[in-house]
Amino acid sequence: MRNAGLGGWPARRALMSPGRTAFVLADRSVSYADVHERATRLASRMREEGIRAGARVAYLGPNHVAFAETMFATHMLGGVFVPLNFRLAAPEIAYMLRHSGASLLVYDPGCAETVRHLPGPDTVVALRSPAPGEHDFENWVAGGDFDPVDVPVALDDVALILYTSGTTGRPKGAMLSHANLVWNCFNMMIGVDVTSTEVTLIGAPLFHVAALNQTMLPTFLKGGTSVIMPSWDAELCYDLVERHRVTWMFGVTAMFADLVRSPRWATADLSSLRTLMSGGAAVPMTLIRAYQERGLVFCQGYGLTETAPGATFLDAGESVRKVGSAGVPVFFSDVRVVRPDLTPAPAGEPGEVLVQGPNVTPGYWRDPEATAAALSEDGWFRSGDIAIVDEEGHLTIVDRVKDMYISGGENVYPAEVENVLFAHPAVAEAAVVGMPDRKWGEVGRAFAVLRPGAAVTPGELVEFLRPRLAKYKIPVRFEIVDALPKTGSGKIRKSELRDRPLPG
């Protein structure tokens, strides 16, 4: 086989374990043999539409088996897969399609209204209910050829363009090569001990690199089963864990907080779960301890879209002793914490995280200036994240460089304040940003989402923080809100909160 990339995986897996279940979606189970056949037929259809090595194929929609089939079919032909955030508005999607140059789009009918406002691309395929001029996905796949597809693909070829969350300005298209994805899978399988009998719950969106490459791809590589949730729902999560005996899942803070808030938290059968894994943002320690007290192994990791994504990981054996830490560098990667002059920051001193290794992006699609700004000549990626490393080499992520503000000459890291706010029994979610102040330069402005039925005043929150934080870290404004603005991957849009007018 000349395809050294992900496009060769369905054939290799079908040869090794054809009858084993690759995916479960609702009442449908798809074997590895099924994935191989369907992706091959889909690739033949794509080839008829002119998809060749280097061509871009986009996917727009919630989590679905068709996401994986479209990705593998694209990679069989040496194409580049572009998963899009279906929660974005039509102009944002249109920008990504134009910027990537995608010539084929597969979409879920729930996104039909968005697609109607898009300029192209040349070929459009609907999972159901196609509009005039569009292909029906199932009919299209069924009519494709099942002849072997063997296009030469190198590990260094670009496999994905993943658009960053776009919390500020235009999103950038981070390129990930097949090698980036493969090395990340190796790192993940070392950190988690992924097995061939793994049952992995895919609850986070697959257009987000963590769901795709921290869980689905390692599970596929090992021949396990991925149970797909179209979108996050805590009650459905409980149902699926119990029904399918789920062993492994990834989630962001909001997802794990939802489970704890559910009335089923105390009684649900979670005995099958071996590993719970989180990343994307620091998880409040009180939330981690809630899972540990339930007898569950909760491991944090740290990474970025540009590092495919794993950069550090907390081994299960250290998850109690090092609770709150994002762990140590993954096996096949190097991580440094540095001062502004790029010299090493000593243990205990905050510094910027730099990452180097075979999992690091080759750069940004059609953006050489952004690539040069992010990558040093010797391949170190500047993360823009601040961390503290301890004497044993474990990292604790403090905050984003751009989220830090300076109050009275002192650095304030909002994530630290948010972590303490989250410990208040009335607070479900919290976000802190800096705002201008004539006396101190900047001061904190806090936003809190309360738990159902809870009530708290700003004064009570100040009293809660006072014995737990230095005075300069305590926000001067507190606003109770119904929800926090978030990106499709669950990150809070701090830029939107900074721009929000103060209440009259």
Name which of 153, 1, 167 is nearest 75 in CA terms: 153
Amino acid at 468: R
Tally of residues, the chain = 504
Set out the domains of the chain in order of their start, with CATH numbers.
Answer: 6-20+29-154 (3.40.50.980), 180-401 (3.40.50.12780), 404-499 (3.30.300.30)
Q: What is the pLDDT of residue 371?
A: 96
Peptide bond into 218 cis (omega under 30): no
DSSP-derived 3-state class of residue 476: coil
Q: Are 293 and 328 in contact (CB under 8 A)?
A: no
What is the C-alpha separation between 192 and 18, in angstroms, rounded?
A: 25
What is the C-alpha separation between 97 and 102, in angstroms, rounded?
A: 6
Q: What is the pLDDT of residue 489?
A: 65
Cα–Cα distance list, 113 to 89, 118, 268 (Å): 10, 9, 38
Q: Are 482 and 449 in contact (CB under 8 A)?
A: yes
What is the C-alpha separation between 443 and 79, in angstroms, rounded?
A: 49
How far is C-alpha 443 from the chain's CA centre? Answer: 31
Tell me which DSSP letter residue 122 carries: S
Q: Are 189 and 219 in contact (CB under 8 A)?
A: no
* Residue 179, token pair as written in the block: 């090698």
Concatenated DSSP letters for 58-115?
A: EEESSS-HHHHHHHHHHHHTT-EEEEE-TTS-HHHHHHHHHHHT--EEEE-GGGHHHH
DSSP-derived 3-state class of residue 375: strand
Q: What is the pLDDT of residue 281?
A: 66
Strands 275-278 and 298-303: parallel
Dihedral angle sign, alpha carbons of residues 243, 248, 254, 256: positive
Concatenated DSSP letters for 402-448?
A: GG-EEETTEEE-HHHHHHHHHTSTTEEEEEEEEEEETTTEEEEEEEE
Q: What is the pLDDT of residue 168?
A: 46
What is the C-alpha separation between 85 and 209, in angstroms, rounded?
A: 11
Q: Are 191 and 313 in contact (CB under 8 A)?
A: yes
User: 10-residue block means of pLDDT along the chain (504 residues)?
Assistant: 97 98 98 98 98 98 98 98 91 93 97 91 96 97 96 98 71 96 97 96 94 97 98 96 98 88 95 91 82 93 94 92 92 96 94 97 96 93 93 90 82 87 93 90 93 94 92 94 83 88 83
The DSSP H or E segment spanning 28 is: strand 28-31
The DSSP H or E segment spanning 220 is: helix 217-222
Q: What is the pLDDT of residue 400?
A: 80
Q: What is the pLDDT of residue 279?
A: 81
What is the C-alpha separation between 5 and 440, in angstroms, rounded?
A: 54
DSSP-derived 3-state class of residue 236: helix
Instruction: Give a three-class secondary structure readout of 157-213.
Output: CEEEEEECCCCCCCCCEEEEEHHHHHHHHHHHHHHHCCCCCCEEEECCCCCCHHHHH
Peptide bond into 309 cis (omega under 30): yes
Task: Quickly tell me which residue has 């009918």 as its tokens.
Answer: 109
Tell me how crowded residue 502 is: count the other CB atoms within 10 A of its CB.
8
What is the C-alpha separation between 297 and 363, in angstroms, rounded?
A: 35
Name which of 438, 430, 329, 439 is nearest 387 in CA terms: 329
The reply to whether the predicted model has a pTM over 0.85 is yes
Q: Are 176 and 309 in contact (CB under 8 A)?
A: no
